[in-house]
Structure 1
Amino acid sequence: MQIALAPMEGLVDNILRDVLTRVGGIDWCVTEFIRVCDRLLPESSFDKLAPELRHGARTAAGVPMRVQLLGSDPVCLAENAALACELGAPVIDLNFGCPAKTVNKSRGGAVLLKEPELLHAIVREVRRQVPAHIPVTAKMRLGFDSPDGALDCGMALAEGGAEHLVVHARTKVEGYKPPAHWEWVARVQDVVKVPVFANGEIWTVDDWRRCREVSGAEHIMLGRGLVSRPDLAMQIAAARDGRDYTPMSWGEMLPLLREFWRQAQAKLSPRYAPGRMKQWVAMLTRGYPEAVTLFAELRREDDCQRISALLGGYVQPLQASVA
C-alpha cells in the first residue's frame, strides 16, 4: 500500500510539503502543477514550484517528490517533461483533474476529460520523450460533468503509457462537494491493467476503510484530509498494520506551525505570509478544536511579529523575506 500527498495548487507548496512529510506515513508527494502553454519553460519555472529538484527531488524528510505538468499540447508537454527529467524529476505526473475555471478555460486540467483521444496523445508523446526509466503517471477526475466517460478516459491514459492512475472520485462540476464516488474507482480499475489510486473525501481512518471497501483500491492519495490532520497518513498506516497509534496532539502540532511560519516569512513578503498562515490554520480547524481559537485570533491579524507572538513566542524568519 502506498500513501501519497496530493498536489493542491495554491496550498501544498514546498513549505507545506516539507512540514507534512516530516510527520511521516507519506510515501511520495507531487508538486503543484507547472503550467505548460506553447513554449519550453525556463529552468526558473521548475525551480519556483519544485525547489526540491536542487536536493535530489526529495523533501527535507527524504520523501520523494514528483513533478506535475498541466497543459494540452502533447509535443510541448513532452519537451517540458524531458527538461524536468534533466533537472532531476524522478517521475512525471500529468494533471487531468484540476477543476479551476481559469485553468479549464485555457484548456487545461479536467476540461480535457471531454477528449479521451487527446489524453492518449498527450501521455503517449510524453512517454516517448521521457527517458524509459522515468515513470509517467496521470491524475484524473471522473469526467467534466458526468462520469459516463470515466472508463474511456482511464483506458486512454493507461494505454498511452501511464504507469499508474490517481482517480479523484468526483467530476469537475462536483468540485469538492461530498460524496466522493469511490465505486467509480473500482470501475476504472476493472478496465485498466495499471494500479489505480483512490482520492477524495478521505478525512479519517474510518473514511479510508470505507473507501477501500467500496473502491477496492490498495493505494490512496490524501489531500485536504492530510492538510487538516497532518498525521492522517500515520493513522492509516497504523490501522493497515494493526498497530496502536496515538493521534498527534495540538501540543505536537505547534512546532510544525512554527516551522511553517518561519519558512513562510522567508519565502513570502510580509504582505503575503500572514495569508498563508491563516489558510493552513483554517484547514486545521477541522481536526483540532484549538485551531478554531487560534484562527479567530489570526483572521484579522496582518502583523508578522504579532502572529509570531500568537504562535507562542517570537519566531525568527529563516532569512530575509523575499517577494
Structure 2
Amino acid sequence: MQITLAPMEGVVDHLMRDMLTQVGGFDLCVTEFVRVVELLLPKKVFYRLCPELKNDGLTPSGVPVKVQLLGQHANWLAENAVRAIEMGSHGIDLNFGCPAKTVNKSKGGAILLREPETIHQIVKAVRNAVPKEQPVSAKMRLGFDDTSLAIENAQAIADAGADSLIIHARTKVDGYKPPAYWNWIAKIKQQVDIPIVANGEIWNAADALNCQQQSHCDNIMIGRGALALPNLAKVIRGQEGHMPWVQVKDLLVKYSGYELFGDKGRYYPNRVKQWLGYLSREYTEAQELFDQIKRLRDSESILVEIQR
C-alpha cells in the first residue's frame, strides 16, 4: 500500500507537508497546483509553491514531492512540466479535479472533464515532453455534472500514456459532500490498464479499508483526514493509535516556529485557526481552543493559549 498526501490549495503547503511527513506514514506528496496559462513560468514560481525543489525534491524528512500543474494549454503545460522535472520534481501530476469556480471559469481543473479529447491531448503532450523515467500522473473526479464521462476521461488519460491515475470519487457538483462513491473507481479500474489511486472521504482506518475494498485499489490518497488526525497514515497502516491531544498541541506549537517568507507573525494566526477547524472533527479540545483564540491576532498570544 502506498499512501500519498493530497494537494489542497491554500492548506497543504510546504510547511504542512513538512509537518505531516515528519509525523510519518506517507510515501509521496503532491503540491498545490501550479497554474499554467500561456507562458513558461519563472523558476521562482515553482520554488514558492515547492521549496522542496531546493532539497532534491524531498521534504526535510525525506519524502519525495511531485509538482502538480493545472491549465488547459497542452504545449505550455508540457514546457512547464519539463522545467519542474529539471528543477527536481519527482514526476508530474496533472489537475483535472479542482472544483473551484474561479479555476473552472478559466477552463482549468474539473471543467475539463467535459472534454475527454482535451484531457488526452494535455496528458500526451506532457508525457511526450517528460523523460520516460519520470512518472506522469493525473488526478480527476468522476465528472463535472455527472458520471457519464467518467470512464471515457479515465481512458483518455490512460491512452495518452499516463503512468497512474488518482480518482477523487465524487463529481464537481458533489463537491466534498459525503459519501464518496468508491465503487465507481472499481468500475473505472475494469476499463483502464494503469495503476489507480483512490481518494475521497477517508477519515480513519475503517474508511481506508472500505475504500480499498470497494474501489479494488491498494493505493490511497488522503488530505482532509490527515489534517483532522495528523498521524492518520500511520493509523491506517496499523502502526499507531489515535494521536493524543497533548501531542497535537505539541505540533501546533512546533508549527508556530515555521516562517513563511520570514513573516511568521502574519502567517501563523490564520493558519493555526484553519488547522483547528479540521482538527475539531477528531478532537473536542480543538474546538474549545479555537473558541479561545478566534479573536486573537498575534502569534505570541495564541501560543500562550495553546500552552496553557
> Same fold per TM (> 0.5)?
yes
Question: What is the number of equivalent residue pairs in this alignment?
Answer: 308
Post-superposition Cα deviations, 1:79-120, rounded to whole Å, max 9, x if no partner, equal: 000011111112100000000000000110000000000111
Q: How does 1:1-323 map to 2 (within 5 A)?
A: 1-238=1-238, 245-264=240-259, 267-268=262-263, 270-312=265-307
Unaligned runs of 5+ in 1: 314-323
Q: Given residue 288 of structure 1, which amino acid in structure 2 is its aligned partner?
A: Y
Alpha-carbon distance between aligned partners in 2 of 1:113 and 1:135, rounded to the nearest angstrom: 22
Match for residue 316 of structure 1? none
Alpha-carbon distance between aligned partners in 1 of 2:72 and 2:64, rounded to the nearest angstrom: 26
Unaligned runs of 5+ in 2: none
CA contact (8 A) 1:264 1:276 kept: no
Aligned CA RMSD, in angstroms, stands at 1.3
Change (3 A) 1:72 1:267: farther
Moved more, 270-279 or 300-309: 270-279
Q: CA deviation at 1:265?
A: 6.2
Alpha-carbon distance between aligned partners in 1 of 2:98 and 2:47, rounded to the nearest angstrom: 21
Change (3 A) 1:267 1:290: farther
Alpha-carbon distance between aligned partners in 1 of 2:256 and 2:265, rounded to the nearest angstrom: 11
CA contact (8 A) 2:256 2:264 kept: no
Post-superposition Cα deviations, 1:248-276, rounded to whole Å, max 9, x if no partner, equal: 11111122111212215665463443111
CA contact (8 A) 2:99 2:172 kept: yes
Alpha-carbon distance between aligned partners in 2 of 1:219 and 1:294, rounded to the nearest angstrom: 35
CA contact (8 A) 1:166 1:199 kept: yes
Alpha-carbon distance between aligned partners in 2 of 1:252 and 1:86, rounded to the nearest angstrom: 38
Alpha-carbon distance between aligned partners in 1 of 2:250 and 2:264, rounded to the nearest angstrom: 22
Alpha-carbon distance between aligned partners in 1 of 2:277 and 2:131, rounded to the nearest angstrom: 41
CA contact (8 A) 2:258 2:264 kept: no
Alpha-carbon distance between aligned partners in 2 of 1:264 and 1:98, rounded to the nearest angstrom: 28
Q: Given residue 90 of structure 2, which amino acid in structure 1 is its aligned partner?
A: P
Post-superposition Cα deviations, 1:197-256, rounded to whole Å, max 9, x if no partner, equal: 110001111111211221111110001011110111101111xxxx6x332111111221
CA contact (8 A) 1:75 1:122 kept: yes
Alpha-carbon distance between aligned partners in 2 of 1:133 and 1:54, rounded to the nearest angstrom: 21
CA contact (8 A) 1:9 1:33 kept: yes
Q: Given residue 109 of structure 2, which amino acid in structure 1 is its aligned partner?
A: G
Alpha-carbon distance between aligned partners in 1 of 2:160 and 2:262, rounded to the nearest angstrom: 38
Once superposed, which parts of structure 1, at least 4 consecutive aligned residues long, lie more than 6 Å away? none
- Structure 1 vs Structure 2: percent identity of aligned residues? 50
1:270 partner SS: helix
Q: Given residue 252 of structure 2, which amino acid in structure 1 is its aligned partner?
A: L
Alpha-carbon distance between aligned partners in 2 of 1:272 and 1:14, rounded to the nearest angstrom: 13
1:302 partner SS: coil
Change (3 A) 1:265 1:294: farther
Moved more, 286-295 or 14-23: 286-295
